[in-house]
Amino acid sequence: MKKLQWLAPIAGIILVACSTVSMTGRKQLNLVSESEILSASLTEYQNYMKTAKISTDANATAVVKTVAERIAAAAEAYLQVTGQEADIQNYAWEFNLTQDAELNAFCMPGGKIVVYQGMLNLIGNGADRDDELAAVIGHEVGHAMAKHGNERASQQLLASMGSSVVGVAVSGQSAQVQQAVATAYGLGAQYGVLLPFSRKQELEADYIGIVLATIAGYDADAAVTLWQKMEANSTSTTPQFMSTHPSSSSRIQQLKKDIPSVKATYGGAAAAAGLTSPSSTTTTPSGTTTTKKSSGTTKSTTTTKKGTGYKIG
């Protein structure tokens, strides 16, 4: 029994630091304070933006900002309705399109959203462009809403703490045994805990993303066509169990299972949240951005503000 006593502090920490992802009900580990996460994330975002090449394509930028504003409004509407108004104050939304050719996008804790041009190139300019972009941005905002940044930081802290405790436990053994345990624990932490959890977080963000897209008035089915494009474009041969992301086929399969219930539950939420039907964004010859609604009328895009109370449309 004495050999297992070192587990007690870790078990106590896990019990105290557990929280729940509201949209899915999954228990998660949060060891880091929200203020620390927000501060660290803002610093990382600011450092990134110092060297990022912001897109000069006014029309593409307007498309990203219009869709992102609607997803942000959907996120705030969800938090408002579910009694999580306090969390809204943690978001100071910013939306950027960069010239990076990679297939990527991210949302830092605090609502700093960046979409890479490569992602827009993959999506293309088809009729489902905005719906697919909503799936991308909804997914990234889903990571922020589910506080995956805090969770991942907490996992790293716990893994580091665990490896230190294991090191103490075998300190009386030979150097060879200590090295063997350190190596085994490293593989166990990486492939047995951290990476599978990351895949779970990715699927959770997929789910939250289609919820937000639906609340924002977009077609959640576009998440499937998006990942079909991603799968067709993928050159990765890394086995899924060693990847931080689930395979595209796994995501597509899960999305197909989730979309019907999401539509049934949240299909009427756009109107309730004050979000009109999405509209396509164009740029006039003078460079003024306008939003063209299905009726043919035009309306200037709104400015996103921190906190509650704004509507798009």
Catalytic residues: 140
Helix (H) or strand (E) holding 255: helix 248-266
**Phi-psi bin for 43: left (phi > 0), alpha (psi -120 to 50), beta?**
alpha
| C-alpha dist (Å) from residue 140 to 111, 147, 259, 292 | 9, 11, 18, 26
What is the SS3 assignment for 134?
helix
**Phi-psi bin for 96: left (phi > 0), alpha (psi -120 to 50), beta?**
beta
Say which residue the tokens 């969800």 belong to. 78
Residue 105 contacts by C-beta under 8 Å, 6 or more apart in sequence? Answer: 113, 114, 115, 116, 119, 136, 137, 139, 140
- The answer to whether the beta carbons of residues 119 and 104 sit under 8 Å apart is yes
Backbone angles phi, psi at 26, to 5 degrees: -75, 135
